[in-house]
Amino acid sequence: MSDNDDIEVESDEEQPRFQSAADKRAHHNALERKRRDHIKDSFHSLRDSVPSLQGEKASRAQILDKATEYIQYMRRKNHTHQQDIDDLKRQNALLEQQGQRESRSRSLFLGSSLLFLPHGRCK
């Protein structure tokens, strides 16, 4: 991914050939300013996405460090939640099996108890 991704700017090659050196330089400077502004805005957006940095002044290095820490924290938290989900799925499967066994046992019990009713009476 390059620095110019998602930036709508013209390249130096798209300028007419008859421009003076000063015009070319001014155009190049404008493109560079837009690129730097985009990077600055991206860092501000990243800073505001990290809870411990929201609204705080921080250097770019601090923003990257805290963003890395936050991503690692969220990965660990996500892993823990996934383990909890897997445990709950296993518990759910065991409870479903237990319920099915109890249902079969109840059916067998009711079916066999009909055989032993006195004098052929049904419930």
Q: Average pLDDT for consecutive 10-residue bins of the chain (123 residues)?
A: 55 66 94 98 96 93 98 98 98 94 80 61 53
pLDDT at 109: 73
Residue 42 lies in a domain: yes
pLDDT at 103: 85
pLDDT at 66: 97
Domain count, the chain: 1
What one-letter code names the amino acid at 51? P
The range of the structural domain enclosing residue 64 comes to 18-120
pLDDT at 8: 60
Sequence-distant (6+) residues with CB within 8 A of 3 are 35, 38, 39
Residue 32 lies in a domain: yes
Question: Does the CA dihedral 45-46-50-56 come out positive or negative?
Answer: negative
pLDDT at 120: 54
pLDDT at 118: 61
pLDDT at 102: 87
CB count within 10 Å of CB 48 equals 13
- The C-alpha angle with vertex 53 and arms to 52 and 57, in degrees rounded to 5, equals 145
Residue 62 lies in a domain: yes
Residue 103 lies in a domain: yes
pLDDT at 73: 98
- Could you tell me the pTM of the whole model? 0.62
Q: Indicate left, alpha or beta for 120 from its phi (over 0: left) and psi (-120 to 50: alpha).
A: left
Q: What is the CATH number of the domain that holds 66?
A: 4.10.280.10
Contacts 24+ apart (CB under 8 A), 12-16: none
pLDDT at 81: 98
Sequence-distant (6+) residues with CB within 8 A of 5 are none
